[in-house]
A and B are shown apart, each in its own frame.
Chain A
């Protein structure tokens, strides 16, 4: 600082540390002096507050700076909270983010239906179109019902919010648990499906398919940690690419159908053999398998706040667009597959959509384009979960049913913790099931239909209670939705129970119990910490006693004693010696260096223990009065290099751990850096 530096004038109301430095600068003319107001690093003044700038988050060390650069390259620059509105989704990116799961289902919904029906031969396959129509009709009902959810809860409803607000805590938690499980499964199933498409084209990848899948999850995690808007921009292209490529194939197919140029169906390597009689159970199983296409429908209603304003209107438009796109693609694929006589491959090497495309356009460039688009959309379907799971977890965390970390936003305004947990759990599931789609599919769908049913039932209650304009219409829509999705839930549970759905049904009560316990823990803490309203608080003025354990008299311990004297009047030093000779020597050195200024207690520990005698000493000086606060100031030597820590016995750390749970005891860590020039010599 130069001689011209000016200290701000004294003001009793102001803390002496203003966030600026005042530097006087001369002008060209006498009297034209000016004062430059230099901000201190990392801070700038806001309205009545000091605002920490991005600079304050930057590390001064080389390692920290390198880490910061790497993080910025990987995840992008930090985004301040005030720019949250700019991070919202447009209708175009919103459709890509929230609809990729639902739209991608069109790639396998027809196949799943046909695979079950094909067991009953041609008679069974005749039910493909009726079941497709039934599923599309249910989709229309679900979409209409969710439009009601958005109308009733424009700030982001979702099944959990609707069910908990209208049906109570347990139904709400059941909906939440069902959705959380389903989001995790969506990631695992979608990624496994995408990897299957790759291994179909490149069988050499098969031995490492699990790790390819884990790699995809890692990529999706990074993409989503970059923030929802950027994820939308990155993932929008593939979603529209898939929709466009399938739409072209269907358009060509319908054109050939209308003009009578019906192509010969390309046969699969091995068609599914008919070995079952056509029965109601088979039809229901086919229906529940095809219903997998309805998953992801709830994502838009869950994520209304992620849309740009008017968010409710934009979300409604996206929901309608999503339903229309999925319905059209699913209906088109099922219709042409049945009309052209596409058969289901028993070996699962070739998909129905692949065989249909090959039949319509041959094995040219468009065929490969469609295959690539399908593989990509299947992987990206997982992206819907990456926006749905963290958002739902954050709502649950805000309601204190999940750990608070889930409600915190990361550097890019994404719910980073939720994203990481989803990635970890789905990756574990993928590894456990060795990337098998068939192994994972039976676990899928049931959760989403439980959530559908509960949210529809909740809305019926909502409309009946509110009785606003048009409540009769809204009630009937949601009642129909609740009944239909309730029936589908039972069908799915019945047909898939032994195939693995039991596992999901068993996990959900455990999750609900876990969430309830988390809430109880937070409630207990709240009860302990809460200050009653309208209570004038009197801060406790009980003076503490400060104890400084001293291992040996050196610069570090003198530094600690100095600090202790500065903050407390009642200071005592304690030294633990292994024998009486050592104790006498220490006392003698103490009287020479420190003198009688500070009281010293020397404890002889013949069993060479340090921590236990110190704790016993603290108990002894309490004299039965545990309400008097005790402060322990610990001198801690900080080596210049991290690896030098291994050369020290970490007594301070052991003491800290031992004192952590002691009542009315505070621990002050007084670090001593070897290069510290200010410490007493």
Chain B
């Protein structure tokens, strides 16, 4: 499969730099454009376009870190902050709009009730995305 656009949603977890690094490796092989997005989930009791300073600042920090990782590797990535009710839907819609062939998701290693917890957003994107989805799960902490 030829990749021209790769979408990388970033949540600001410890795995973000690894995901970006992997996306850049993939992107280099395919000469694909990489877009990193951070989605701010807006609660239903607030307008969708509410200006959430703290969340916006955190989102910009997450994306600035991704840009730094890319710069160190000699690559360029585009970044975008979004606000939506559900992160998964915003990710899928952005992938459709940008005609991304691949969504590369980072999955921090978490356990709930003794089992690895995939997380709501990853699960939803897997189910709803029309394009390929790749989950990069963090290795088990030693």
Contacts and interface: CB of A to CB of B under 8 A. Distances in A.
Interface of A: 6, 8-9, 11, 14, 18, 20, 22, 24-25, 27-29, 31-37, 44-48
Interface string B1-24: 000000000000000000000000
A35 B82 contact: yes
Interface in B1-56: 39, 47-51, 56
Contacts, number: 70
B90 A37 contact: no
A37 B85 CA distance: 14
B98 to A, nearest CB: 11
Contact of A9 (B47, B82, B92): B47
A8 B51 contact: yes
A46 B85 contact: no
B96 A22 contact: no
A46 B89 CA distance: 27
B57 A32 contact: no
Interface string B40-83: 00000001111100001101110010000000000000001111
A9 B56 contact: no
Contact of B84 (A18, A28, A33, A44): A33
Contacts of A28: 89, 92-93, 96
B51 A11 contact: yes
Interface centre among A8, A28, A37, A45 (most CB of B within 10 A): A37
A25 B97 CA distance: 10
Contacts of A6: 49
A34 B57 contact: no
A34 B83 contact: yes
A35 B89 CA distance: 12
A8 B49 contact: yes
Contacts of A18: 51
Given A28-B92, A34-B83, A35-B83, A47 B61 contact: yes
Contact of A31 (B56, B57, B85): B85
A53 to B, nearest CB: 10
A20 B93 contact: no
Nearest to B72: A86
Closest 6 CB pairs of A and B: A34-B84, A6-B49, A35-B83, A32-B89, A34-B90, A37-B81
Given A32-B89, A32-B90, A9 B50 contact: yes
A10 to B, nearest CB: 10
A46 B57 contact: yes
A460 B108 CA distance: 57
28 contacts: A8-B49, A9-B49, A9-B50, A11-B51, A22-B51, A24-B48, A24-B49, A27-B84, A27-B90, A28-B96, A31-B85, A32-B84, A32-B85, A34-B82, A34-B90, A34-B94, A35-B82, A36-B81, A36-B82, A37-B59, A37-B81, A37-B83, A44-B60, A45-B57, A45-B60, A46-B57, A46-B61, A47-B57
